[in-house]
Structure 1
């Protein structure tokens, strides 16, 4: 009998000083992608690129028992306001070092050496996985399609994150 995919509840956070929900193509891509994959949008927010506003939203989400994953988009570059890694990495109980490494490797094939300006990171906090992606829709597509989607798929082998998120490991 084939194993059934476990739907997860995922929250999407857009970090931007200029975007609105109406023109947030990156956040909307992630919402559409997770729903197409059979997951549920648990919550969605858009906050300014401010360390404490980001931490406040994500802290509330990781405290909730009904959110398995958080995906943020934006704030991972080097401009003066980019602060997502500093804001969210302090919440991690464990880092997923391979995520940023693999993201930059895959991104290199698309944008060349400009990928070194990406500070994409991931980690676990209170049995919730947090993925921090750059703000471009292309970067969100790369991160989702080539890494995140399979790691949030309970049928993906040899391993995935679902057991860690649902307490079945």
Structure 2
């Protein structure tokens, strides 16, 4: 699909952590660096604690913002008691992108072997906005971006990609 012109997405980045600050948010920095280098725009950025309701509220607010196309969160996708990002995402999703977690596991398997089983990375769509929940390590953010998102968020990628169907994500909400 090289005959298509690149269409930049407006992406918000959310770091979920009880301990990170803007000064030491390496995973968030990794995502911002990757998305801007690829030609996308950083629409917003935030750090929130591992609190399900706060995370879900921020995701809903960003989904309601017409200037945000994509939300990528990092952190809180593990198995510990404080890891609630996946549950918050699923509170917001209208549709889950089931294969995202599977593909992320395949990418992770190549690097960390059976430890990939501990990730609960997931993705979905709500109000015409894509939402991706990634693990909290810079390495996992690089892997998800470099192996999956850089391609799926590029209109030129074939045979298909997320950007080409973006205008139709909220067609069920429009008046017929």
TM-score (norm 2): 0.92
Question: In structure 1, what is the Cα distance between the partners aligned to 2:65 and 2:44?
Answer: 11
Partners of 2:81 and 2:122 in 1: CA distance: 18
2:174 aligned partner:
none
Kept in 2, the 8 Å contact 1:127–1:164? The answer is no
Matched residue count: 169
Which residue of the partner structure matches residue 78 of structure 1? 79
| Equivalent runs, 1:25-64 vs 2, <5 Å | 25-64=26-65
Offset at residue 148 of structure 1 (A): 0.8
Hey, what does 1:153 align to over in structure 2?
154
Q: Deviations over 1:48-72 (max 9, x none)?
A: 0100110111110000111110000
Runs of 4+ in 1 over 4 A off after TM superposition: none
Question: 1:102 matched to which residue of 2?
Answer: 103
Q: Note the alpha carbon deviations across 1:108-164, whole angstroms, 9 max, x for none.
A: 111111111100000011111101000000000000000011000011010001123
Cα RMSD for the two superposed structures: 1.5
Tell me the equivalent position of 1:91: 92
Q: What do residues 44-95 of structure 1 show as CA deviations (whole Å, max 9, x unaligned)?
A: 0000010011011111000011111000000000111000111111211111
For the residues of structure 1 that align with 2:4 and 2:122, how far apart are their CA atoms?
30
Given that 1:68 and 1:166 are in contact with CA atoms closer than 8 Å, whether structure 2 keeps it comes out as no
